[in-house]
């Protein structure tokens, strides 16, 4: 173990600043089609995209501006503790997001590794505290708050092993979320038919 600016750490490990490992992206969408999927801060939560509904571009609010890409991290500027964040693991050319969503793109660290760090409870609490210290209508942060966070980076072998583990775990989480979505859709389809008597299960041997 060796001393560092932030405490004792294993030899071969070091602290970096998040802003040295990623950048904030703000690219205006081309709006080259009549309909797109618009995401506001409330449309993502705890890593999940809550809808994939298309709407007419002409009906979108003024804050519908930014384009996103696979590997981007979406992070709400308002009340970080409410966990309005998500990781883009799909082709997102049909998506446009609100100006109130930060788009963070990793440059020299695996994007899943960065996402895991930024969405950890300790980091969310720190960002929430910084948000509440600002004057304004809502507790809010900027990329400047995120960019100054220190992140502990392990030696190369440990980082590779940890990152591979993260990809495996998050792939399973996404698979489970997909299955849960299918089950919810099945429930929503069957329940009204059961309650109305359209489906009779009285004679089923359960």
Residue 104: closest CA among 198, 204, 19: 19
The sign of the torsion formed by the CA atoms of 157, 159, 160, 166 equals positive
Query: What confidence tier does 45 reach under pLDDT thresholds 50, 70, 90?
Result: very high
Q: Is the pLDDT of residue 111 over 90?
A: yes
Q: Is the pLDDT of residue 78 over 80?
A: yes
Superfamily of domain 2-153: DNA methylase specificity domains (3.90.220.20)
d(CA 206, CA 201): 10
Q: For the segment 22-40, what is each residue's pLDDT rounded down to a tens digit?
A: 999 999 999 999 999 999 9
For residues 118 and 176, is the Cβ–Cβ distance under 8 A?
A: no
Residue 200: the pLDDT is 81
Query: What confidence tier does 202 reach under pLDDT thresholds 50, 70, 90?
Result: confident
The residue among 206 and 140 whose pLDDT is bigger is: 140
* Residue 154 burial class via C-beta count within 10 angstroms: exposed 0-12, middle 13-18, buried 19 and up: middle
Q: Is the pLDDT of residue 104 over 80?
A: yes
CA distances from 197 to 38, 80, 185 (A): 38, 45, 19
Task: List the domain boundaries for the chain.
Answer: 2-153
Residue 170: the pLDDT is 95
Lowest mean per-residue pLDDT among 57-61, 79-83, 106-110, 194-198 = 194-198
Q: What is the mean pLDDT of the chain?
A: 93
Share of the chain above pLDDT 90, in %: 84
Residue 75: closest CA among 93, 94, 88: 88
Q: Is the pLDDT of residue 205 over 80?
A: no
Q: Which residues of 187-201 are buried (b: 16+ CB within 10 A; e: fewer)?
A: eeeeeeeeeeeeeee
38 is written with which tokens? 């618009």
d(CA 188, CA 159): 43
The sign of the torsion formed by the CA atoms of 153, 159, 162, 164 equals positive
Q: Is the pLDDT of residue 90 over 80?
A: yes
d(CA 150, CA 87): 21
Q: Is the pLDDT of residue 206 over 80?
A: no
């Amino acid at each position: 173990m060796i001393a560092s600016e932030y405490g004792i750490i294993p030899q071969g490990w070091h602290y970096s600043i998040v802003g040295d490992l990623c950048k904030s992206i703000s690219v205006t969408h081309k709006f080259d089609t009549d309909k797109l999927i618009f995401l506001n801060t409330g449309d993502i939560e705890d890593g999940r995209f809550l809808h994939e509904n298309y709407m007419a571009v002409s009906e979108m609010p003024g804050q519908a501006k930014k384009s996103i890409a696979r590997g981007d991290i979406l992070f709400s500027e308002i009340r970080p503790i409410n966990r309005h964040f998500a990781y883009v693991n799909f082709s997102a050319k049909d998506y446009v997001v609100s100006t109130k969503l930060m788009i963070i793109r990793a440059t020299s660290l695996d994007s899943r590794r960065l996402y895991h760090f930024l969405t950890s409870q300790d980091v969310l609490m720190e960002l929430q505290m910084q948000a509440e210290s600002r004057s304004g209508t809502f507790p809010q942060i900027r990329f400047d708050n995120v960019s100054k966070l220190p992140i502990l980076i392990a030696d190369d072998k440990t980082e590779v092993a940890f990152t591979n583990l993260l990809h495996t775990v998050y792939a399973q989480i996404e698979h489970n979320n997909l299955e849960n979505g299918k089950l919810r859709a099945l429930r929503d389809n069957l329940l009204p038919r059961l309650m109305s008597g359209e489906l009779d299960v009285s004679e089923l041997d359960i």
